[in-house]
Structure 1
Amino acid sequence: MHDHFDRCYRAVQSKDSRFDGWFVTAVLTTKIYCRPSCPVRPPYAHNMRFYPTAAAAQKAGFRACKRCRPDASPGSPEWNVRGDVVARAMRLIADGTVDREGVTGLALRLGYTTRQLERLLLAEVGANPLALARAQRAQTARVLIETTDLPFSDVAFASGFSSIRQFNDTVRSVSDLTPTALRQRARTKFGQSDAASGALALRLAVRTPFAYEGLFGHLAASAVPGVEEVRDGAYRRTLRLQYGNGIVSLTPQPDHVQCRIQLDDFRDLAAAIARCRRLLDLDADPEAVVDALGADTDLKALVAKAPGQRIPRTVDEHELAVRVVLGQQVSVKAARTHAGRLAAAYGRPITDANGGLTHVFPAVDQLAEVDPVHLAFPKARQRSLAALIRAIADGELLLDPGCDWNTARAQLQALPGIGPWTAELIAMRGLGDPDAFPVTDLGVRVAARHLGLPDDPRALTDRSVRWRPWRSYATQHLWTALDHAVNDWPPKEK
């Protein structure tokens, strides 16, 4: 979008927050870049330039506006709706792949050379992988500076910087403030932090409208005992991260999500935030979904009732895949029970001083030799689960933020006992494909019948063509038509 000057300029003139994250506005006279919705009076058009990312603006010599904080705006929805290599690369960078594996590791995951990948990213987003990762490190540093009392040396290395000098230079160039001045400014504006307990309190930005009831209701209804819970109006769960474990507490608000994170190691902060955003589908473009699905005569009333639906996703693609297989042909309650048994038997114990969380969901390597005593379901599904775990562990099945959605579907359906329903649900909730459509799902068919839509899978698939590329969101809207616990937030008393 950034290369459509007139459209971008109109968005800036109207201070339209819907475009935050789609592009940034750079001002030649001040050398500052802003969100489209920045409250400052827009400059003359000839003094403005538009860039696709904060990293591209920083690379061009601009620094972030202190008032609108464009580096903390929602991520671009474009990377979530596309399956090409640039979008896949952007999702992996957001997940911290460059910091963990370097640019070479990123390129290997995508099947490209580093030179090819750099050329593609420069052409489309105006920055190479290192610049994009640097912008993300700067934002992580800013969060730690403003919300904790950690020494700046700890902040620097937790954010992924290799030296204190690099940290200081980057913070100054991006924010035009020293780390000390940035912390003092935050204290004046927001008060003292709660870092002594190891907890960080953050606001996760979201595009409105935000119909969070179906999202949080689904997460609550399917919560795995010991791994997830609802407490004091918040959805809470454990995280398994590179350097340690974490616990996150997420409380929805009409225009943001209040997030409280406890981590064993602050180096995991950027990945934890990215996974929370992915779990809640916070970088979606609700206006595009509402416009497309609201134009359908059969869905119009359903969309108007609760616009801004989000997909209940996951913090771990492998975990989601295991849980979907466990949930084949059983109730949500039974699926929770099966997953809870695995977590208690094979998950890493965790201490939760503020709640009842007890375990981190096990990684696939921890489930490689699972004892059948913990699998109280039919042998056929046991074989499916074992095949899934083996395929992931051996690298035959790739499920991560940067994988190709259609390739993943084909790899999944090549496994015994995994059919279209399982593959589509994993594509929808695990991989984030906005056009996944689990047409054989019982809830989808029941809701379709209530709306006067065909409930035969073949006929409903044909009917769904007009919903593309938003069939995942059509599925979520259909689920909201059901009288089911997945739509209750806060959960009803049992």
Structure 2
Amino acid sequence: MRLDPAICSSARLARDRRFDGRFFTAVKTTGIFCRPICPARPPLERNVTYYATAAEAANAGFRPCLRCRPDAAPGSPAWGLVSTTVQRALNLMRREREAHSIEELAERLGITSRYLRKLFAEHIGLSPLQVWQTERALFAFSLLRDTSLPIADIAFAAGFNSLRRFNGVFKAIYQRTPTEVRRERATVAADEKHAEAEPVNIYLSYRPPLDWPGLLGFFAARALPGVEQVIAGDTPEQGVYQRSFRLQGQRGVLRVAHEPDKDRLRVSVYGEGCGAVLFPLREKLRQLFDLDADSEEIRGHLQSDPLLRRVLQVNPGVRLPGAWDPFEYTLRAIFGQQISVAAATTIAGRVANRYGESFNAPGGDSLVLFPSAEQLRDADFSDIGVTRTRAKTLQHFVAATRRGEIDFDQPDLDDFCAQMTALPGIGDWTAHYTAMRGLSMPDAFPASDLGILIALGKESGAERKATPKQALARAESWRPWRAYAALLLWQSLKLSPSTGDNK
């Protein structure tokens, strides 16, 4: 990825938080690389080199700054890479705890290992293994500094099955051992035994602005009974999101709170053995809250539209609410066909409580894990409040998922929508809405959505709502962020005296 040295220089000298995580500054005289917001005295321009990722800087021989902590920087936007194949490979690498071999990764992508190496060299400048090792070492550093997990558990959580290999990779990047980093932590206790009953806290940084109250409000209206909950605080910024989860065989509860003064979210993870899934859990949450979005770039593009500009003035930190699991969310999208948000949420809650697994969360609360496709293989859905036709659609979708006919790793919007609409009872609205929220595809656009059509009709002053054809024509100028535009259109209804339903 190419960087403009002039822009990078201006951003680091201004310590502009909008550029945090978008590039890193390596200082030749000290051998250290930093975030653009590093509080240290800025080095002379002739002594710096700019890198697009922390992995590139580390593999160029620079060690991470212990003051600004590159491990805590927000990630790059998902559309930042030129190659969708590389982006898909990175997503697969980050989804699992352990590393994939180049051959396994290439096979899942449907290309040769030689071509995969070529793509990584062209677009990132590193091999897949170098990216994996550096990202996992940075993640391990954050656990060493922010938690009291034993070092062996941290090595496992970071994807290393060998403590010796973990120590070797970590020392090569940080030029100190994990034990030395742990000793440097000012808050470390004399007794480092980890109590399983206590949560593990991890932190997710973002580039401001972030509309946390707006995100919580969106999730609160759709919270699955027994699975999700939005806990109100004294102020909207103090609200907490909570949900049960099952991830790679581990189950637990997570609670997410906002720390606006530090531009980050604090995630408290409860559950025995959940330390092993902290890395993929972190990646899921970054997508759920859309933390890697470039709000400034999105706003700059969409505000040329008068209607969207009006909403952006109220909500400059727009984020696209994602989903914990695409299978779960696709079911919810099917439930939501032609009914209200509240009704769809009620039906989804019935499915969770009828077919899901119950367990006692820390504190004694009884929670539910949303059922998997395998657990729903024999469900007939006839007694949950949907029509027979809708029940058949749900059965077809579950069966297609179990057969592997629905590819939730599909990076192409049109291909994914074609897979979905090939199933009986699933139309363009369901496919695009699933792509928009279930897969966080930024250009998905459910053009036939009633809320979108009402919003466009009101804006034009027409007595009738707009047509899907008119919505698609208007949305052409919003590419590649039509999903964000859809969200803003739904929000525009709340700014009017009369509000419409939005999913």
CA distance in 2, matches of 1:437, 1:219: 20
Correspondence for 2:207: 207
List gaps (5 residues or longer) in structure 2: 233-238, 496-503
Selected match of 2:248 from 242, 249, 256? 242
Does the aligned pair in 1 maintain the 2:228–2:244 contact within 8 Å? yes
Moved more, 215-224 or 101-110: 101-110
CA distance in 2, matches of 1:194, 1:169: 24
Does the aligned pair in 2 maintain the 1:231–1:355 contact within 8 Å? no
Q: How does 1:170-209 map to 2 (within 5 A)?
A: 170-188=169-187, 196=195, 197-209=197-209
Alignment of 1:475 with 2:486, yes or no, is yes
Correspondence for 1:34: 34
CA distance in 2, matches of 1:192, 1:286: 43
SS of the equivalent of 2:215 reads helix
Moved more, 75-84 or 262-271: 75-84
1:285 shift after superposition: 0.3
Moved more, 46-55 or 281-290: 46-55
1:100 shift after superposition: 5.7
Does the aligned pair in 2 maintain the 1:444–1:478 contact within 8 Å? yes
1:275 shift after superposition: 0.6
Moved more, 170-179 or 281-290: 170-179
Selected match of 1:460 from 439, 463, 471? 471
Correspondence for 2:71: 71
Change (3 A) 1:200 1:82: farther
CA distance in 2, matches of 1:94, 1:79: 16
CA distance in 2, matches of 1:81, 1:409: 22
List gaps (5 residues or longer) in structure 1: 485-494
CA distance in 2, matches of 1:228, 1:247: 10
Amino acid at match of 1:439: A
Q: Deviations over 1:125-179 (max 9, x none)?
A: 1222112221222133223322333322222223211322222233333334332
Q: How does 1:295-314 map to 2 (within 5 A)?
A: 295-314=304-323
1:317 shift after superposition: 1.2
Does the aligned pair in 1 maintain the 2:252–2:361 contact within 8 Å? no
Alignment of 1:387 with 2:396, yes or no, is yes
Report percent identity of matched pairs: 39
SS of the equivalent of 1:389 reads helix
Does the aligned pair in 2 maintain the 1:246–1:262 contact within 8 Å? yes
Q: Which has the higher contact order (CA 8 A, sep 6+)?
A: 1
CA distance in 2, matches of 1:140, 1:194: 20
Correspondence for 2:266: 258
Aligned length: 482
Alignment of 1:410 with 2:409, yes or no, is no
Correspondence for 1:54: 54
CA distance in 2, matches of 1:116, 1:157: 30
Moved more, 442-451 or 49-58: 442-451
Amino acid at match of 1:295: S
1:80 shift after superposition: 6.7
Change (3 A) 1:160 1:78: closer
Does the aligned pair in 2 maintain the 1:210–1:309 contact within 8 Å? yes
Q: How does 1:250-399 map to 2 (within 5 A)?
A: 250-254=256-260, 255-265=263-273, 266-354=275-363, 356=365, 358-399=367-408
Does the aligned pair in 1 maintain the 2:26–2:50 contact within 8 Å? yes
Amino acid at match of 1:166: R
Does the aligned pair in 1 maintain the 2:355–2:375 contact within 8 Å? yes
Correspondence for 2:116: 117
User: Cα RMSD (Å) of the superposition?
Assistant: 2.4
1:339 shift after superposition: 1.3
CA distance in 2, matches of 1:26, 1:142: 19
